[in-house]
Every structure is written in structure tokens, then in C-alpha cells.
Structure 1
């Protein structure tokens, strides 16, 4: 049985135009890696603790796929844009069997 995995990112955007350019550049490698964006920085209510203003969640079919996409050449080529436009805390999280 394959277990899904997720990228869970908490983001503070400092350059909205630059971050939009990163998102456009990252969309192809994420899709090619089997990723499906579930949440993209929409409204959120923090009910405990403190997190960055935006949360992004990307689903992958497996931990191996999530890892391969993040560390793959295509996505890695987008990181300079991301890091110039935002502060990001990102974890790759294993999901539950479906």
C-alpha cells in the first residue's frame, strides 16, 4: 500500500511579485513530480501558537515522490526565486494509508 506524503510550508512573503514568479516557475516541476496543491496561502486562523501568515500544502503519492520532487533539478532551480521573495519553513510529512 502506498502512503501519501505532503509538503507543508509556512510562508512570509516579502516580495509578492517575486513570489508569484516563483510559484509560476515551481508549478511545472511540482506537477511533473506528481504533486497536487491542496492549499495555497489562503485565509487561515491560527488557534494555537504562532506560524507564518501563509500556509501551502502539496500532496504527493508517496514520500519518495515528495522527496524526489523537492530535491530534483527542476524544483531546486526555483529556490533562489523563492528565497529572494519569502521566508519559508517547509517540512515533508508522511500521511496516513488511504
Structure 2
């Protein structure tokens, strides 16, 4: 069953965030991720507002979790430290 990362992001330092953008695709490719939404126009009628919203599909929840825990993604995450406010949720599809 597919699973998804739902990420909400507000970039606070674009120059530093570019390091994350350079590294994260390595992890996503390794775990079969498919981007369904990335940035673009959005509305947030309830809850905290973020600049960007990203929806990433994985083959299953195990792959979604493994991607996050991977050395590749953790290196990307470290590169974005202090450069963005981020909230990520992993959820199984139906």
C-alpha cells in the first residue's frame, strides 16, 4: 500500500536551503519516491501557515520511514538546519 510524506516548509535562508535541495534527491531516488505536489499555489484555511507544501509518494510506509532514517536524507536534513521551518508527517494511503 502506498504511503506519503506530507511536508510543510517555510524557507528562512534560501542560500543555505540549497544544500538540502542538492542532497535530498539522492534519498528520494533510493527509496522510490514520487513527487505529487511541490510548492505551487496553495491555501491554508486552518492551522499554521507555511510557504510550501510537498506531497511525496512512496511504495509503502516502510520505504517512507527508511528514506527519512537513511544516511542520505539525514545529511540533507543537517544541511537545512537553521534554513527552514519544517513539519513532516508520514501516512499510509488507502
TM-score by length of 2: 0.90
Runs of 4 or more consecutive aligned structure 1 residues displaced over 6 Å after TM superposition: none
Cross-structure match for 1:94: 92
2:54 counterpart (53, 56, 63): 56
Query: How far did residue 20 of structure 1 move?
Result: 2.3
> RMSD of the TM alignment (CA)?
1.3
Count of residue pairs brought into register by the alignment: 94
| Counterpart for residue 35 of structure 1 | 33
Q: What is the rounded CA distance, in whole Å, between the counterparts of 1:81 and 1:18 in structure 2?
A: 7
Tell me the CA shift for residue 75 of structure 1.
0.8
**2:2 and 2:58 in contact (8 A); partners too:** yes
What does 1:1-98 correspond to in 2, within 5 Å?
A: 3-96=1-94
Change (3 A) 1:5 1:75: same
Q: Deviations over 1:60-89 (max 9, x none)?
A: 010000001110111111111122210101
Q: Which runs of 5+ in 2 are unaligned?
A: none
